[in-house]
Structure 1
């Protein structure tokens, strides 16, 4: 056993040297855990920010001008005063997210207590902005109308008092959530790519046949690729947490980074084994890319990192219980956001370890069968 581990160590060093000579993969790794995380966290904001709005003012009154002047940054861009035809064309062209139409005699009807309506057309393809912006517009318009009529802004006294307390992300900053989720997605994607590409590269260059004639077994060859590629991604995750998430994005890490890195190591064992499995089934790089689409997208989209698992069908929730990313997302959110310790996340660690062992065993059997067929 000692000789087998030593062989795996030496083969792993060879894999690291091969990766070092592959500048394209190196650039992809560096970008994925630096600029990729930063841009994905800051450029895909879920808050209402600089939303374009057009206003069709058919009343031209003091109240309508007051409502138009109440829309300002950072939530909205300065509103554009347009005609009704320009509003429809602007929505079709994607120039506006919101178009508000103030009808004629609006101020007169408000003062008369006739409760006139303001039409708001919303581009609902921008789902998050549409939902949040509709509430903002309603509050702004009602507040300005009430203050205009009563000459002061008053609030209705509610029979109860609701005191919400926002935990873990008090400013509701999407970058705090997006940065960690992007790291999780990159861990899954790159570990599968690196191990699968390493195996395909051996086959395309003919070096796999050279390894087969040496006193090496499938276990040593596979273990070498797993530990080498896992180490590269593991180090990249650690550096990204310290320099990108904590420093550049100023995201506070509530829990233990060493505990998270232990979970990352178990996740990497599962995903690198999955990469070997896909690489064994694929015959070239294009096939590897196509098969990765079928595997990576469900792992990322259905793991609970982008949408809550509770909103998914029960069948999907059950199937994803056997995916390592589901438990990795749960562990990462518990440790990094809520400061959970080992007493809380041990079920996730145990589930990840069991899935990783199953993936490694299945990949080893498939890889061993592939080598035997070639021999």
Structure 2
């Protein structure tokens, strides 16, 4: 056993040295856990933020001033007062995304119980902000009118008030979700690529023949690739969580990062096993890339990270329970988003370990048979 452990260790060191000289894969790892996270967090915003807005106040009443003062950061910029004749020219120039036109005698008609029109002009070329911002603007105007009437006429508001409380992400900041999910998805992606590339690289460089003439077993060769590539990914994930996520992006992590890393190490046995299996099937790096897309894309899309399992057909949601990636996403979100402890996520840990061990055993058998044929 000591000799086997020593063989696995030194073969793993060889893998690390080989990886350090492969600048393409090295650059991919650095990019995937640094710049890719930053870009995905900053460029995929799905919330309203700092939208430009102007007010055309043709009423000059208390109600119109209340409506104008109800728009403020961080959802909107402070409103600018403009004239009615400047609406079209300024929107054509892209100066404002929203322009609210309050007509004359608006307050008088509201107090008279009528329903006067109020125009909200929207620049829909900014599609996300246009859709969200127009909805928020209608809510703000409606709330201000109801509050104004309750004070002006002594009418009580509805006895039932909807109080919405948003937990874990109170400001609905998209970056809090996309950055963490980018790390989770990149773990699966790189574990498969690195492990598969390690096998293909041995075959392309002819070093597999050298290994076969040495007193080594297929299990030792495969395990060395697992721990070496798993170590690279684990270190990259830890640095990304502490340096990129917390330090550079300022995104809070609710749970225990060490507990999450334990889950990552367990999951890497499955992900690297998939990579080794694909590496035994592929004859070259281009073939590995094609097989990777066929495996990774369905796993990623159906794991629950992009679309909740509850939104999928029942048969598909149940089928995906056999995939460790589904349980990995479940406990990763529970720990990093909701601060779950081991008492909550241990069933997912156990499921990943059990299913991953099965896949890992099958990959080792496949690797053993391929090595035996080559020998």
TM-score, length-normalised on structure 2?
0.82
Secondary structure of 2:322's aligned partner:
coil
- Quick one: structure 1 residues 237 and 105, their matched pair in 2 at CA, closer, same or farther if it must change by over 3 Å? same
CA separation in 1, counterparts of 2:105 and 2:234? Answer: 62
Aligned-CA RMSD value: 3.6
User: Could you tell which deviates more after superposition, 5-14 or 157-166?
Assistant: 157-166
- Quick one: structure 1 residues 60 and 83, their matched pair in 2 at CA, closer, same or farther if it must change by over 3 Å? farther
Residue segments in structure 1 that go unaligned for 5+ positions in a row: none
CA separation in 1, counterparts of 2:121 and 2:280? Answer: 55
Instruction: Report how far residue 260 of structure 1 moved.
Output: 1.2
TM-score, length-normalised on structure 1?
0.82
Partner of 2:335: 335
Query: Quick check: 1:41–1:174 contact (8 Å CA) kept in 2?
Result: yes
User: Could you tell which deviates more after superposition, 260-269 or 45-54?
Assistant: 45-54
* CA shift digits 1:161-214 (9 cap, x unpaired): 444433223333333333322211111111111111111111111111222232
1:300 to 2:297 alignment: no
Secondary structure of 1:321's aligned partner:
helix
CA separation in 2, counterparts of 1:36 and 1:152? Answer: 54
Partner of 1:37: 37
CA separation in 1, counterparts of 2:290 and 2:257? Answer: 34
CA separation in 1, counterparts of 2:279 and 2:154? Answer: 66
- Quick one: structure 1 residues 323 and 161, their matched pair in 2 at CA, closer, same or farther if it must change by over 3 Å? same
* Alignment size in residue pairs: 366
CA separation in 2, counterparts of 1:126 and 1:155? Answer: 38
Secondary structure of 2:306's aligned partner:
coil
Instruction: Report how far residue 290 of structure 1 moved.
Output: 1.7
Query: Quick check: 1:97–1:126 contact (8 Å CA) kept in 2?
Result: no
CA separation in 2, counterparts of 1:165 and 1:287? Answer: 50
1:78-89 mapped onto 2 (5 Å cutoff): 82-83=87-88
1:168 to 2:168 alignment: yes
Partner of 1:271: 271
1:359-370 mapped onto 2 (5 Å cutoff): 359-370=359-370
1:21-36 mapped onto 2 (5 Å cutoff): 21-36=21-36
CA separation in 2, counterparts of 1:102 and 1:338? Answer: 43
- Quick one: structure 1 residues 10 and 153, their matched pair in 2 at CA, closer, same or farther if it must change by over 3 Å? farther
CA separation in 2, counterparts of 1:131 and 1:98? Answer: 11
Query: Quick check: 2:273–2:363 contact (8 Å CA) kept in 1?
Result: yes
Residue segments in structure 2 that go unaligned for 5+ positions in a row: none
1:119-198 mapped onto 2 (5 Å cutoff): 123=124, 126=127, 129=129, 131-143=131-143, 157-198=157-198
